[in-house]
Amino acid sequence: MERVHDPVIFQHAIDGIDMKNNIIATYYMSDRLPGVDFIDHFKLIESIAIEGSTGSWQRVEEESTEVREMLSGKLVGYYEIPTEDEYRKSAVIQLAFPINAWHDNVPMMLLSIAGNCFAYSQRIRLLDVVFPENMVKNFRGPKFGVEGTRELLGIPERPLSLHIIKPKMGMTPKQTGDQVYQTAIGGADMAKDDEMTSDTYNNNFRDRLKYVMDAIDRAEKRTGKRMIYFCSITDEVSKLHEKAREAVEIGANGLLITYSVGLSAIREVTSDPDINIPVMVHNSHMIASMDTISWPVFTKLIRLCGADQTLTPTYWSSIPMVSLEEGIRCQHVAQAPFYGFKKMWSMPAAGTYPGLTPILMSEYGKDIIIPSGGGMLGHPDGYTAGAQAWQQAIASVMEDVPIDEYRRTRR
């Protein structure tokens, strides 16, 4: 007699799975059928596991038991969430997907853990991913990370301030360089193009890079401090890698790539030994998937694929998108032990201003980059004063002196 729920899919526990060769995906799922007091969650889960691996809605002859044993997704954890709603069934589930199906092929991996599953449950969200050793060994992780970037800048322990160049687009290369010079002499540690910056009628990355690096050279002669500039090179995948190489040849000391190019494209750039400068990944494209994929999952994927830093949400931003805990958790997974990879910078972002520094440092610690556009450039005394205000705010927390007192006594 055929069982209702296939034992090949269900008869597993997480402590019996080969953790070196299976990726473990954790999901929250919640479904409601008004007027129906029974929901077969296991049948729904079986559909999700099979759709992410071997089958479709209708089993066919060639999908043998052997094929399912070798390649199908398998339920390894089911934790029902109690509810007083008799028509709702909610649970946290864990599925194991064998890497035999795709090894270290990132696009195929994403199809398994974050593909058709979203079509089955009314409310499903990928909460976490555990990567197996035999997959991760084919990745390199960040080249610089926290430790390497600190060495480049000569800043051993405090948070770093970053100037987001504004407006998003429309400035000439000279205007861009002039803006960066003003924040560089004010002490900003880094600058980056806005994620929307690309090659336009009055600006291209080659000219912009030359003007900005010249501004950094001039500022260094004046201050003795050298800023890192993350030059935006986001482009079609066919152009991205060559663009990164060209930027390095011109003299870039940092690159900015947006998540919209895809994880494989990011991995290709970060894995190139000749691109030996820090790479930042911007997250804006990820916002579209917030309801279905948690931000810490994105953070972990970006670290796996080699970024040195990535923007992350914070509850205190001008566009709060996730809970306080989910925002902070991004920093945890960015810097947690992970197969020997270097720690990745998290960057609590969007609408930050110097007065937030004590809160951000209390939640995230010292190993953060705090990016600021209007919160630096909008200072009433100008761009240089705005950069100085950030340095003062960071120093005040490091020295455990209230910001207002620090501003009055240490100008």
**Rounded Cα–Cα distance for residues 79 and 74 (Å):** 15
For residue 228, being part of any structural domain is answered with yes
Residue 92 lies inside a defined structural domain of this protein: yes
Q: Evaluate whether 343 touches 147 at the Cβ level (below 8 Å).
A: yes
Does residue 101 belong to any structural domain of this protein?
yes
Evaluate whether residue 293 is within a structural domain.
yes
Cβ atoms within 10 Å, residue 85 = 10
Do residues 199 and 278 both lie within one domain? yes
Q: Is there a single domain that holds both residue 203 and residue 244? A: yes
The pLDDT score that the predictor gives to residue 321 is 81
Nearest CA to 386 out of 396, 394, 378 is that of: 378
Task: Judge contact between 343 and 335, C-beta under 8 A.
Answer: yes
Same-domain status, 76 and 13: yes
118, 136, 154 - which closes a domain: 136
| CA–CA distance, 389 with 212 (Å, rounded to integer) | 22
Residue 385 pLDDT: 96
Dihedral angle sign, alpha carbons of residues 274, 279, 282, 288: positive
H or E segment and range at residue 281: strand 279-282
The yes-or-no answer on residue 282 being catalytic is yes
Phi, psi of 234 (to 5 degrees): -55, 130
- The whole-number pLDDT of residue 146 equals 98
In a domain, 1, yes or no: no
> For residue 96, what are the domain limits?
7-136
Same domain, 190 and 132: no
Q: Check 89, 166, 192, 300 and give the catalytic one.
A: 166
CATH code of the domain covering residue 95: 3.30.70.150
**238 and 161 part of one domain:** yes
Amino acid occupying residue 208: R
Q: Give the per-residue pLDDT at 117.
A: 87
Are 324 and 378 in the same domain? yes
At which of 103, 136, 169 does a domain end?
136
Same domain assignment for residues 93 and 165:
no
pLDDT attached to residue 411: 60
List Cβ neighbours of 410 (8 Å cut-off, separation of 6 or more): 392, 395
Q: How many domains does the chain have?
A: 2
Among 12, 74, 163, 282, the active-site one is 282
pTM: 0.93
- Upstream peptide bond of 167 is cis (omega within 30 degrees of 0): yes
Predicted confidence at residue 64, as pLDDT, reads 77
The answer on 161 and 110 residing in a single domain is no
Residues 126 and 161 in one domain: no
Burial (Cβ within 10 Å: 0-12, 13-18, ≥19) of residue 25: buried
The predicted-structure confidence for 170-216, as pLDDT tens digits, reads as follows: 999 999 999 999 999 999 999 999 888 888 899 999 999 999 999 99
Which residues does 131 contact at the CB level (< 8 Å), separation at least 6? 23, 300, 304, 339
Q: What is the pLDDT of residue 53?
A: 79
Cα 259 from Cα 237, distance rounded (Å): 12
Beta strands in 33-140 (DSSP E): 74-81, 88-98, 123-130
Asked if residue 94 is part of any domain, the answer here is: yes
Q: Are residues 244 and 103 in the same domain?
A: no
In a domain, 183, yes or no: yes
Return the CATH number at 291: 3.20.20.110
Asked whether residue 206 falls in the same domain as residue 107, the answer is no
Name residues of the chain where pLDDT drops below 50: none
Pairing between β-strand 123-130 and β-strand 22-32 as defined by DSSP bridges: antiparallel
Place of tokens 């540690």: 189
- Does residue 2 belong to any structural domain of this protein? no
For residue 397, give both structure tokens: 């927390």
Does 175 share its domain with 105?
no
Give the pLDDT of residue 57. Answer: 63
Give tens-digit pLDDT for 29-57. 999 999 887 888 899 899 888 887 777 66
